[in-house]
């Protein structure tokens, strides 16, 4: 456990090796990257066993990085069950995604160049960025202090930029990458301000020490609330919550395995992780807690509703991620630490599978992503189809699949911890989740064959293998919640403030959850069964609502307006001000004025020799007179 | 002969010289005006030295200095005038307005 | 002290002077020889600087490698040399940028002899300023560094025409020199005033600092002299609103001059504020620190917002320098050990980062003959190394962890939050704007599909590669292992702050 810091070094080493020497390595070093991430995955298990053996901790291993003045910045590690769970999730998903990419990134070249099957020409760079992504996320979950956490946090953002913009010849990919980086960066401004403010008051970056001070009430409640909200701004950006979710749908420009990585393991989960890690800070402030819950619920509802209107398969999944992350924040706001982190794990597994399945579909259909042009794929691609259906059912909350258990936990937490408005909202969100999943499955996988989908074929084993493995996990992971053998996942993922928490089947909310999920699924299946008749009827009834959803609540144009008309306009105004006034008037002005005065003054200088002589003589006479009169 | 006579002579010479410098347009005549003014000063210096009780003949020494300097000055100035005449074809000081602002 | 330790600092001044002298007597046609001499001199300067940096013992602190040569006893002027922690880091920076600049300068074809002569004079001035501990020589070298700038820009610079205005190289050179000289008049007044008021009969900075500590420079005196020094040196550091010489100068200057100008020369200004302002006028600094802090914050935001609207690559980098030097001024204004450390590190970080930027912009300009970001596109497919390194510099500029900018900026921010949280928050927002303009620029210039006209662009040549590599190493090293750099800074920072009583 002391050596847990070594885990990120495997992918980090792979990144350095690939970044510098990929030209000289066989297959541009992709095998090295895969081997490194598998090593990291294997190295995470001893930490788990060690933790189970020693008790849940947390265990803190500080190490100095550098210090300035009285402040100490470290690269130490903090190991507790949350860390270990994240370590396993991140490395597991990374392994599967990297293996899957071995097949996926071969296909891409064939799709774009049309001639032969080969690796993408920049495959080495792809794997380098992947490795750095994994390494950063592992560092983030291991960090024992805020500065290291921020370092990893920013590196995660950088990797998302590099990978979303991987195909940088496409302007849309470059735009999406830029949008992702800048949008999350806006949240990060809040995060960094929050960190700086907190540290200015506590004098240490150490997470445990800071939380201890918060718990002992050494910070004023105003500062606590302010810091909590500022830090939450960072989480909102990274986890694509309202109002900073605009980058998420565009981020689909990256290669699909990257989306799987971002959505399941390495990026959007960072926000939830941050709030979970700092939960005592939020529990110390009622306002912050309610803000987290409200933003979570709002994002859950908005994401689900936008997923209902989207026609791009990957975007549906993206909005679904936003919605589920919202549920996690809702749970955290309700004090459901276990529920949120458990949902983080189950959702990660299922969402990774869904994205990989979607990638498999795109692979078969030459990058087609519009679900209206798919159909009947389940029969042609049985493994992909099964995986997708399983993932959809799991995220809809159908027992006994993984996400059902965690969703149920969230439901119980919300029912107990927050006022009924949140509960009602969450119940609506459950129905919506099931509804959009049913729609995606119904339209894309079943129904009649569309022309484009006729020659779809199943993918190779490197792509089917990870899908199958994730499908098994989706079925089984949820069962760890049950008290079989040990006290269930709740006893493992508890937070110190609330003690162990084992799973209990709630007699009211469990049936309600199941019924609502099934109702949503049934409704979706029925609505989209005979497309487009029933849906068109609805659309004409609620045209305004449909347009609102299709335009993603008009936040994109609003931000675009803000950037074009306010930020860039301010830039132009300031730049012009700088040139005309500060430079031309303020700086050149004195020079110009001196020149002008000189021009006037030189008028009396005639150039006639006699004029000068006369002036000298007159001067001498005047001087003589002056002396004479004075004396 | 009193000091006053010498002073009047010097003043007259100086005024003549000044008039020459200011009113003549030919550069050579301007130079002659300058020479007149210098010599007016010399007259003054020598006269003061003679009438006042000034030791070690300061006035005469300075007058000799001035004569030397005036010789050098005339040499230099005539050379300048000569160059001007060569390049411009005239020695008219009013035609040379290179110093106009 | 070993032989090298005794003579390293003066050698750093004499080396470029001697190089200039040797170059004068070389035949102008022997370009290969001239370039070899120029680059070799740069390499020696780098080695010497590295040696001086490593020879500085942070456990001992104070001024080290001290040498005193009596010069003019009547006025108490001696040729005193020595470095404290801050100066040691600046000497290292100068060595790095000088070497990279000398290598890049070899790419120029017009009259390399005169160019290298002037460049070396400039370098001699910069070294002299950083290592002088005698106020007279400090100012002497400070002025020496400025004069060659005029000729370098006015002769070898480039004039540009933009849609709404134009900038000739003569205009830029004249403005740069006139503004800096006007500012140094203020500095000179301040220096003479300190000399007279302290009445110590010496220009020795240590003695004058002691006089200030003993209260011989009373508070009222310091209060009116400090602004002279602050504005005078601040102008060279790009302090708002006296920054306009800087972007225009960059746009007109040739590549290696831009590198030295932004990389080192602007640091002289900030260094002057530390040496003269903070060490000799501690009370004045205390009174005016908030003003400096506020101006620094304005610099950060104003520079970043101005950079947003620029389309010329060099203008973007020029305004980003204004913005980044703002962090230095902010850090100094905090009077906080964390913030001040951050400011000193930012001087180093910005120096190498900006020099890297200009190396790459110069390489792109020499090949494509344009710096217009609206015309350039898709360069990543044509100039892979140049693009990759430019993006790296951009990421350092926007404060990405793992690169030098982050460590420095985060220290400045923490320091700011320990004193004036609101200004700190504004500064952090400025860092976010940096991300916007850097990423917009990178997206437009390097990504996308390149036009036909860029088909023949070649990637960096060996010389540019060496220069860029020299600059990348410290950018990454400070980002990942800042501890050795901070260790050297620590005693210098502590000593200055102890004088102010903070």
Q: Which residues on chain A are in Cβ contact (under 8 Å) with B96?
A: 607, 609
CA A206 – CA A144 distance, rounded (Å): 6
Q: Kindly report whether the peptide bond that precedes residue C224 is cis, defined as omega within 30 degrees of 0.
A: no
- Whether C and A touch, i.e. at least 3 CB pairs below 8 A, reads as yes
- Give Cβ neighbours of residue C388 (< 8 Å, ≥ 6 apart): C380
Most confident residue range from A98-112, A359-373, B82-96: B82-96
Report the pLDDT value the prediction gives residue C250, as an integer from 0 to 100. Answer: 87
Report the pLDDT value the prediction gives residue C124, as an integer from 0 to 100. Answer: 92
| CB nearest to A571's CB, from C308, C407, C410 | C308
Q: What are phi and psi for residue A77, nearest 5 degrees? A: -120, 150
**In this prediction, what percent of chain B has a pLDDT beyond 70?**
97
Angle CA(A539)–CA(A398)–CA(A522) in degrees, nearest 5? Answer: 35
Rounded to the nearest angstrom, the gap between the alpha carbon of residue C245 and the centroid of all alpha carbons in its chain is: 15
> What pTM value is reported for the model?
0.85
CB contact under 8 Å between B99 and A607, yes or no, is yes
Quick one: three-class SS letters along A256-281?
HHHHHHHHHHHCHHHHHHHHHHCHHH
CB contact under 8 Å between B101 and A617, yes or no, is no
Over its length of 502 residues, how does chain C's per-residue pLDDT go in tens digits?
678 888 888 888 999 999 999 988 888 788 888 888 889 999 999 999 999 898 888 888 888 888 888 888 888 888 888 888 899 999 999 999 999 999 988 887 778 888 889 999 999 999 999 999 999 999 999 988 888 888 888 888 888 888 777 888 888 888 888 888 888 899 999 999 998 888 888 888 888 888 888 888 888 888 889 999 999 999 988 888 888 888 888 888 888 899 998 889 999 999 999 988 888 888 888 889 999 999 999 999 999 988 888 888 889 999 999 999 999 999 999 988 889 999 999 999 999 999 999 999 988 888 888 888 888 887 877 888 888 899 999 999 988 888 888 899 989 999 998 888 889 889 988 888 888 889 888 888 888 788 887 777 788 888 888 889 999 999 999 988 888 899 888 888 888 888 887 4
**C357 or A563, greater pLDDT:** C357
Contact at 8 Å (CB) between A575 and C309? Answer: yes
β-bridge partners, C69: C79
Shortest CA gap A51–chain C (Å): 30
Shortest CA gap A466–chain C (Å): 33
Q: Which residues on chain A are in Cβ contact (under 8 Å) with C399?
A: 154
- pLDDT tens digits for range A331-360: 888 888 888 888 888 888 888 888 888 888
Quick one: three-class SS letters along A415-428?
HHHCCHHHHHHHHH
- Alpha helices, DSSP H only, in C244-336? 245-252, 255-260, 266-272, 279-280, 282-308, 313-334
Q: What is the DSSP string of A104-124?
A: HHHHHHHHHH-S-----TTHH
Which whole-number Å values give the CA distances from B29 to A611, B26, B71, B73, C208, in the listed order? 16, 5, 16, 14, 63
* A380: helix, strand or coil: helix
Q: Kindly report whether the peptide bond that precedes residue C265 is cis, defined as omega within 30 degrees of 0.
A: no
* E strand residue ranges, A149-281: none
Establish, for the pair of chains A and B, how many residue pairs have beta carbons separated by less than 8 Å. Answer: 34
- Give Cβ neighbours of residue C455 (< 8 Å, ≥ 6 apart): C382
- Alpha helices, DSSP H only, in B24-57? 27-51
CA C308 – CA A570 distance, rounded (Å): 9
CA C48 – CA C44 distance, rounded (Å): 6
Confidence bin at A110 (pLDDT 50/70/90) = very low
Largest CA distance in chain C: 70
DSSP code for A484: S
Q: Kindly report whether the peptide bond that precedes residue A400 is cis, defined as omega within 30 degrees of 0.
A: yes
The ipTM assigned to this model is: 0.87
Largest CA distance in chain B: 52
Q: What are phi and psi for residue C329, nearest 5 degrees? A: -65, -40
- Is the pLDDT at A111 greater than 50? The verdict is no
Q: Kindly report whether the peptide bond that precedes residue A318 is cis, defined as omega within 30 degrees of 0.
A: no
CA B69 – CA B31 distance, rounded (Å): 14
The gap between the terminal CA atoms of chain C, to the nearest Å, is 33
Q: Which residues on chain A are in Cβ contact (under 8 Å) with C428?
A: 189, 192-193, 196
- Alpha helices, DSSP H only, in B1-101? 3-23, 27-51, 58-88
CA A243 – CA C293 distance, rounded (Å): 33
C 324-353 near A (Cβ less than 8 A): 336-338, 340-342
Shortest CA gap C102–chain A (Å): 26
């Amino acid at each position: 456990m002391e050596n847990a810091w070594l885990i990120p070094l495997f992918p980090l080493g792979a990144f350095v090796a690939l970044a510098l020497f990929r030209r000289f390595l066989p297959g541009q070093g992709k095998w090295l990257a895969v081997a490194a991430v598998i090593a990291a995955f294997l190295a995470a298990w001893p930490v788990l066993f060690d933790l189970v053996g020693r008790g849940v901790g947390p265990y803190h291993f500080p190490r100095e990085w550098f210090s300035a003045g009285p402040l100490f910045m470290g690269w130490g590690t903090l190991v507790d069950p949350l860390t270990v769970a994240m370590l396993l999730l991140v490395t597991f998903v990374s392994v599967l995604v990297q293996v899957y990419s071995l097949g996926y990134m071969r296909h891409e070249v064939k799709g774009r160049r049309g001639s032969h099957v080969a690796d993408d020409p920049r495959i080495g760079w792809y794997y380098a960025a992947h490795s750095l992504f994994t390494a950063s996320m592992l560092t983030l979950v291991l960090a024992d202090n805020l500065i290291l956490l921020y370092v990893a946090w920013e590196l995660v953002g950088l990797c998302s930029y590099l990978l979303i913009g991987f195909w940088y010849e496409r302007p849309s990919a470059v735009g999406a990458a830029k949008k992702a980086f800048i949008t999350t960066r806006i949240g990060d401004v809040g995060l960094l301000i929050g960190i700086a403010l907190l540290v200015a008051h506590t004098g240490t970056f150490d997470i445990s020490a800071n939380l201890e001070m918060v718990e002992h009430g050494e910070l004023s409640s105003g500062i606590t609330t302010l810091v909590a909200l500022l830090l939450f701004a960072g989480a909102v950006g990274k986890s694509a919550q309202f109002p900073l979710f605009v980058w998420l749908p565009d981020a689909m420009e990256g290669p699909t395995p990257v989306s799987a990585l971002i959505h399941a393991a390495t990026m959007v989960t960072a926000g939830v992780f941050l709030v979970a890690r700092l939960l005592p800070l939020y529990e110390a402030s009622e306002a912050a807690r309610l803000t987290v819950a409200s933003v979570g619920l709002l994002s859950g509802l908005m994401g689900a509703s936008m997923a209902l209107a989207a026609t791009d398969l990957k975007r549906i999944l993206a909005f679904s991620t936003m919605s589920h992350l919202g549920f996690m924040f809702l749970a955290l706001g309700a004090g459901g630490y276990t529920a949120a982190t458990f949902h983080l794990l189950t959702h990660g597994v299922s969402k990774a599978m869904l994205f990989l399945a979607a990638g498999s579909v795109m692979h078969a259909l030459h990058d087609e992503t519009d679900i209206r042009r798919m159909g009947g794929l389940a029969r042609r691609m049985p493994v992909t189809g099964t995986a997708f259906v399983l993932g959809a059912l799991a995220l809809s909350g159908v027992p006994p699949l993984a996400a059902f258990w965690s969703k149920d936990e969230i439901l119980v937490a919300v029912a107990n911890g927050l006022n009924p408005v949140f509960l009602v909202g969450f119940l609506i969100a459950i129905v919506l989740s099931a509804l959009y999943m049913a729609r995606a499955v119904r339209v894309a996988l079943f129904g009649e064959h569309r022309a484009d989908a006729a020659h779809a074929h199943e993918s190779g084993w490197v792509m089917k293998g990870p899908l199958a493995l994730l499908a098994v996990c989706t079925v089984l992971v949820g069962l760890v919640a049950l008290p079989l053998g040990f006290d269930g996942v709740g006893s493992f993922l508890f937070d110190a403030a609330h003690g162990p928490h084992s799973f209990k089947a709630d007699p009211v909310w469990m049936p309600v959850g199941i019924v609502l999920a099934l109702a949503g699924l049934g409704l979706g299946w029925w609505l989209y069964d005979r497309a487009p008749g029933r849906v068109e009827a609805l659309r004409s009834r609620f045209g305004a609502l449909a347009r609102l959803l299709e335009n993603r609540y008009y936040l994109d144009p609003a931000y675009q307006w803000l950037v074009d008309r306010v930020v860039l306009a301010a830039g132009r105004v300031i730049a012009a001000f700088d040139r005309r006034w500060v430079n031309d008037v303020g700086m050149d002005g004195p020079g110009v004025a001196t020149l002008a005065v000189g021009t006037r003054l030189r008028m009396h200088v005639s150039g006639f020799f006699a004029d000068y002589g006369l002036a000298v003589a007159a001067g001498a006479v005047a001087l003589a007179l002056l002396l004479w009169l004075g004396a | 002969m009193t000091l006053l006579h010498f002073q009047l002579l010097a003043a007259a010479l100086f005024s003549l010289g000044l008039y020459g410098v200011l009113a003549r347009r030919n550069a050579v005549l301007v130079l002659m005006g300058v020479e007149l003014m210098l010599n007016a000063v010399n007259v003054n210096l020598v006269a003061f030295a003679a009438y006042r009780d000034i030791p070690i003949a300061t006035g005469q020494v300075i007058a000799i200095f001035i004569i030397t300097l005036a010789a050098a000055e005339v040499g230099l100035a005539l050379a300048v005038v000569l160059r001007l005449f060569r390049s411009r074809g005239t020695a008219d000081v009013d035609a040379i307005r290179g110093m106009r602002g | 002290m070993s032989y090298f330790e005794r003579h390293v600092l003066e050698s750093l001044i004499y080396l470029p002077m001697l190089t200039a002298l040797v170059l004068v007597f070389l035949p102008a046609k022997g370009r290969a020889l001239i370039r070899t001499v120029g680059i070799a001199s740069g390499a020696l300067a780098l080695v010497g600087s590295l040696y001086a940096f490593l020879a500085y013992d942070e456990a001992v602190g104070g001024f080290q490698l001290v040498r005193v040569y009596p010069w003019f006893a009547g006025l108490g002027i001696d040729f005193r040399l020595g470095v404290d922690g801050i100066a040691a880091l600046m000497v290292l920076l100068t060595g790095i940028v000088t070497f990279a600049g000398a290598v890049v300068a070899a790419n120029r074809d017009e009259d390399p002899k005169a160019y290298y002569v002037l460049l070396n004079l400039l370098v001699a001035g910069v070294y002299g300023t950083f290592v002088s501990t005698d106020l007279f020589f400090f100012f002497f070298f400070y002025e020496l560094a400025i004069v060659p700038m005029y000729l370098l820009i006015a002769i070898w610079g480039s004039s540009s025409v933009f849609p709404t205005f134009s900038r000739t190289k003569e205009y830029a050179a004249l403005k740069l020199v006139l503004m800096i000289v006007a500012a140094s008049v203020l500095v000179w007044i301040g220096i003479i005033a300190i000399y007279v008021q302290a009445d110590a009969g010496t220009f020795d900075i240590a003695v004058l600092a002691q006089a200030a500590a003993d209260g011989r420079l009373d508070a009222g005196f310091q209060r009116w002299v400090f602004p002279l020094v602050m504005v005078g040196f601040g102008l060279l550091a790009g302090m708002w609103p006296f920054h306009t010489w800087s972007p225009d100068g960059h746009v007109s200057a040739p590549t290696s001059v831009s590198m030295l100008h932004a990389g080192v020369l602007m640091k002289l200004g900030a260094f002057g504020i530390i040496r003269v302002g903070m060490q000799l006028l501690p009370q004045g600094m205390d009174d005016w620190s908030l003003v400096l802090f506020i101006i620094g914050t304005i610099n950060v935001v104003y520079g970043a917002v101005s950079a947003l609207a620029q389309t010329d690559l060099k203008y973007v980098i020029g305004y980003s320098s204004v913005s980044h030097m703002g962090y230095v001024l902010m850090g100094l204004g905090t009077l906080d050990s964390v913030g001040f450390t951050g400011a000193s590190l930012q001087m180093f970080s910005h120096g190498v980062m900006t020099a890297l930027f200009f190396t790459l912009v110069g390489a792109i300009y020499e090949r494509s003959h344009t710096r217009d970001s609206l015309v350039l596109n898709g360069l990543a497919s044509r100039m892979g190394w140049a693009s990759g390194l430019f993006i790296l510099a951009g990421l350092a500029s926007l404060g990405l962890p793992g690169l030098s900018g982050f460590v420095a900026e985060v220290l400045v921010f923490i320091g700011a939050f320990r004193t004036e949280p609101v200004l700190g928050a504004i500064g952090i927002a400025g860092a976010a704007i940096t991300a916007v303009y850097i990423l917009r620029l990178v997206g437009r210039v390097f990504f996308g599909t390149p036009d036909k006209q860029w088909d023949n662009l070649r990637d960096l040549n060996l010389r540019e590669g060496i220069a860029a590599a020299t600059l990348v190493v410290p950018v990454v090293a400070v980002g990942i292992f800042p501890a050795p750099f901070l260790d050297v800074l620590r005693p210098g920072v502590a000593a200055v702050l102890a004088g102010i009583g903070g």
